[in-house]
A and B are shown apart, each in its own frame.
Chain A
């Protein structure tokens, strides 16, 4: 597989925490997330439903809406002119310039992002003319056709309403729209969950082609780990609002350093490899309002030790390129990949 050349640091996320302020108190949906993203890099973000993936990505771009609040940490954006800006304290007005021009997003649901009663072309024209008020309507419409062409959609589709297009086409047109201003970063939150595998392949091959030509970085969110392994340079695994492991995709796949990463990997039946009896991950994700004292994964972890029940593991560097948050990586502990116990073959169903 051809890996991309990655460049300088683009985004440095430090200790980012996001809460939802609810009537029953604050829900800590993302806590102390830290990672670095380089120019042209594809970072995959995986984890169960509710683990905080969408919350983290919207907070990255400062797009979160009430009741979500960034309660701590920094998101340092390194511009191509060498300036470094912390996005967290910026006002919406100050962020305007960065959005679309530098940082774009493709949302989880294409249907939500498009106006159902407006022709596609008109929606593109709105965006383009807000970006550049001096552009004539005619020129903007022309440009809309060009942008659709970027993802292989016939230009006469500018006259279509969203419901007249297949889900795949809608998603492809949104990707085109996200690229309209040549951004440095495109965040994609489950862009292919609603389409089938053949369309997914069409879309992703186009995204990767554009990425090679234009060099933007991608944060790609999905729960489909097999997809991420095909796609990303590095992977971040989230569990209960925390990044529990991050590192090169191949490393995480072959040598997971966190039992949850391993269990998630082993949740996908193979397409070609010999079939073996598999198990999912026993139990259910924890209630974020009521996290256990120690490791949040402990109630479901086949390798939990006494220490895990009392002390919360921190995300620390555990090998040259991998960070993980699990006590098994403490000095003198058996590594995750080794040992007789294995999250997939042991442990009853705690359900």
Chain B
């Protein structure tokens, strides 16, 4: 059973100091080849990130915002295009294979899919034993066995005897993800990078894995990067939240401040769009899904908008937003955002109760060259011959 506390009251002073892993102004461009020649995908740009001992930092954002790319850069899966990665203050050069072993002894990546990341043909004993041996964390059958038992206990798979001889397919999704975590822990890393580690798990077992990660933070001082698109789970587990948009970090701060006092319009959009149990049920409250029009999608990273990348979707966009990329502004100690509203003295706009983000459906329709969006009209024309169906109707297979 996990015994963790939700620590919002007492910030850990000591932890505040010790930076374990750091990214400084990290950029990654991919060159892709298409029919019309090659193009550059500006997947992430200017990422600054610090992971502290005993602290969980979350990175949230829509899909395609660059979260996975950041995790892969930090785990040396790709070389960076620009910027630096530092482990315990020392710059890390891009190495692969055996040369990277020392790095992986410190930094471990947890993947999204616990099904794909375990060798299906090997029992748990082999999977964990191998990780211990490769990193020289245990020698001799007896010591290995003992360490495996410890690992299983640490991830709450107890009694260990019940699990050690099982194969991955004999475990539930949550149990499998705990094996993945145990395998990462076998290496005794200082940092774990979790790329959506619970998104493939069933709702009922997600909390269990989150609680386990919190326990590892509290009891073992692990530094964790928690990547997710679920901002409520980020708040539950993380001390700090960073918000990614279109390859850039646009806001960062303590979880409670980012959630209760967001300082970037995109953070507001994300929060305003997240279902929250308990909201929307009271009589007069606006429903999350009341007419919002089209909220838009993130821009192409091959030709991102000039200036602020959020400007095509931002209801507050000003001239400067289309010209110049916003600079980082510290709004309160440790809480920053990149948005011109702050320099322009208009940050109060972010406190409005209702922000109208969407393009009204009529406007969207006019832009799309559609003269009517009256659903009945459209269907009246479509259903003119209802009842005369003679053939099976198309791709209608479960």
B273 close to A197 (CB less than 8 A): yes
Cross-chain contact B383 with A182 (CB below 8 angstroms): yes
Cβ of B393 and Cβ of A130 under 8 Å apart? Answer: yes
CB neighbours (8 Å) of A147 from chain B are 378, 382
Partner of A101, one of B236, B292, B361, B389: B389
Does any Cβ of B come within 8 Å of A340's Cβ?
A: no
Contacts of A126 in B (CB 8 A): 394-395
Please give the distance in Å from B295's CB to the nearest CB on chain A.
Answer: 5
Assess the B275–A230 pair: CB atoms within 8 A: yes
Q: Are B373 and A149 in contact, CB atoms less than 8 angstroms apart?
A: yes
Query: B356 on the interface (CB 8 Å rule)?
Result: no
Query: Interface segment, A14-22, A150-158, A310-318, A326-334?
Result: A150-158
> B322 in the interface, Cβ–Cβ < 8 Å?
no
A154: nearest chain-B partner, CB-CB: B368
Please determine whether B277 and A249 come into contact, CB atoms closer than 8 angstroms.
Answer: no
Contact between chains at B289 and A204 (CB < 8 Å): yes
A224 touches B275 (CB 8 A): yes
A310–B4 Cα distance when bound, in Å, is 36
Q: Mark B1-25, 1 if CB is under 8 A from A, else 0.
A: 1001110100000000000000000
Whether the Cβ atoms of A182 and B206 lie closer than 8 Å is: no
- Name the residue of chain A whose CB is nearest to the CB of B286: A1
How far apart sit A207 and B383, CA to CA, in the bound complex (Å)? 19
Q: Does B274 contact A (CB under 8 A)?
A: yes
Residue of A nearest to B281 (CB): A250
Chain A residues lying within 8 Å of B376, measured Cβ to Cβ, are 213-214
Knowing A1-B283, A214-B376, A351-B174, the reply to whether A224 touches B392 (Cβ < 8 A) is no
- Encoded as 1 (CB less than 8 Å from any A CB) or 0, chain B from 194 to 228 comes to 00000000111111101100000000000000000
Main secondary structure of the interface of B (DSSP, over half): loop
Q: Does A23 contact B (CB under 8 A)?
A: no
Using known A-B contacts A107-B398, A279-B208, determine if residue A166 contacts B297 with beta carbons closer than 8 Å.
yes
How far apart sit A253 and B282, CA to CA, in the bound complex (Å)? 12
Min Cβ gap B39→A in Å is 15
Indicate if A181 sits at the interface (CB-CB under 8 A): yes
Write out the residue numbers on chain A whose beta carbons fall within 8 Å of the beta carbon of B383: 181-182
- A338 on the B face (CB < 8 A): no
| Chain A nearest Cβ from B201, distance in angstroms | 9
Contact residue among B174, B208, B287 (Cβ-Cβ distance under 8 Å from A230): B287
Interface residues on B, range: 35 or more
Chain B residues within 8 Å of A348, by CB: 1
Tell whether, in the assembled complex, residue A271 and residue B231 are in contact, meaning their CB atoms are under 8 Å apart.
Answer: yes
- With A271-B259, A272-B260, A351-B175 known as contacts, the answer to whether A105 contacts B375 (CB < 8 A) is no
Which listed segment binds B: A29-37, A131-139, A288-296? A131-139
Type the 1/0 row for A35-48, where 1 means its CB is closer than 8 Å to any CB of B: 00000000000001
> B348: CB under 8 A from chain A?
no
Report B243-280 residues with CB < 8 Å from chain A CB.
259-260, 269-280
Which chain B residues lie closer than 8 Å to A149 at the CB level?
Answer: 365, 368, 370, 373, 378
User: A349 touching B278 by the CB < 8 A rule?
Assistant: no
Bound CA span A91–B375, Å: 32
Give Cα A115–Cα B397 distance, bound, in whole angstroms: 12
Complex contact A181–B382 (CB within 8 A): yes
Q: How many residues of A contact B (CB 8 A)?
A: 98
Interface string of A246-275 (1 = CB under 8 A from B): 000110011000000001110111111101
Kindly state whether residue A119 has any CB partner on chain B within 8 Å: no
A291 CB to nearest chain B CB (Å): 17
Q: Which of A1, A263, A272 contacts B281 (CB 8 A)?
A: A1
**Residues of chain A with a CB closer than 8 A to B392's CB:** 96, 130
| Inter-subunit contact B202/A97 (CB<8 Å) | no
Residue picked from B8, B203, B281, most chain A C-beta under 10 Å: B203
Q: List residues of B (345-387) whose CB comes within 8 Å of A's CBs.
A: 358, 361, 364-365, 367-370, 373-376, 378-379, 381-387
- How long is the Cα–Cα vector from A206 to B295 in the complex, in angstroms? 11
Q: A265 to nearest B CB, angstroms?
A: 7
CA distance A179 to B378 in the complex (A): 10
A277–B236 alpha-carbon span in the complex (Å): 9
Q: Which residue of A lies closest to B206 (CB)?
A: A280
Which of A5-13, A57-65, A301-309 lines the interface with chain B? A57-65
Chain B positions within 8 Å of A281 at CB level: 204-205
Q: How far is the CA of A281 from the CA of B374 in the complex (A)?
A: 45
Q: Is the CB of A269 within 8 A of B232?
A: yes
CA distance A268 to B289 in the complex (A): 19
B62 on the interface (CB 8 Å rule)?
yes
The answer to whether B235 and A1 touch across the interface, beta carbons within 8 angstroms, is no
Is the pair A198, B269 in contact by a Cβ cutoff of 8 Å? yes
CA distance A225 to B386 in the complex (A): 36
Contact of A97 with B375 in the complex, beta carbons under 8 Å: no
User: Which residue of the partner chain, among B289, B386, B391, contacts A133 with CB atoms under 8 Å?
Assistant: B391
Q: Decide: A150 and B375 in contact? CB cutoff 8 A.
A: yes
B289 touches A64 (CB 8 A): no
User: Assuming the A-B contacts A149-B373, A150-B375, A280-B205, are A253 and B156 also in contact, with contact meaning beta carbons closer than 8 angstroms in the complex?
Assistant: no
**Quick check: B387 and A97 within 8 Å, CB to CB?**
yes
B319 at the interface (CB under 8 A from A): no
Max chain A Cβ within 10 angstroms of own Cβ: one of B5, B269, B276? B276
Task: Name the A residues within 8 Å of B207 (CB-CB).
Answer: 267, 269, 278-280
A271:B235 contact, CB within 8 angstroms: yes
From A274, which residue of chain B is reached at the shortest CB distance?
B8
Q: Is A227 an interface residue (CB 8 A)?
A: yes
Q: What is the CA–CA distance of A276 and B259 in the complex, to the nearest angstrom?
A: 16
Q: How far is the CA of A118 from the CA of B368 in the complex (A)?
A: 22
Q: Which residue of A lies closest to B364 (CB)?
A: A152
Nearest Cβ on chain B to A68's Cβ, whole angstroms:
9
Q: Is A223's CB under 8 angstroms from B202's CB? A: yes
User: Distance in Å from the Cβ of A34 to the closest Cβ of chain B?
Assistant: 22
* CB closest chain-B residue, reference A139: B381
- Compute how far the CA of A58 lies from the CA of B397 in the bound complex, rounded to whole angstroms: 10
Instruction: Please tell me if A205 contacts chain B, counting CB pairs below 8 Å.
Output: yes
Interface positions of B (Cβ within 8 A of A) = 1, 4-6, 8, 62-63, 156-157, 172-175, 202-208, 210-211, 229-233, 235-236, 259-260, 269-283, 285-297, 358, 361, 364-365, 367-370, 373-376, 378-379, 381-398
Give 8 new A-B contacts, CB below 8 A, not counting A182-B383, A205-B293, A209-B361: A127-B394, A130-B392, A150-B373, A224-B203, A229-B277, A231-B289, A267-B203, A272-B279
What would be 7 A-B contacts, judged by CB atoms less than 8 Å apart? Answer: A2-B290, A107-B398, A198-B269, A214-B375, A275-B236, A348-B1, A349-B1
List 7 A-B pairs, minimum CB-CB distance, nearest first: A269-B236, A154-B368, A280-B207, A271-B276, A127-B394, A226-B275, A281-B204
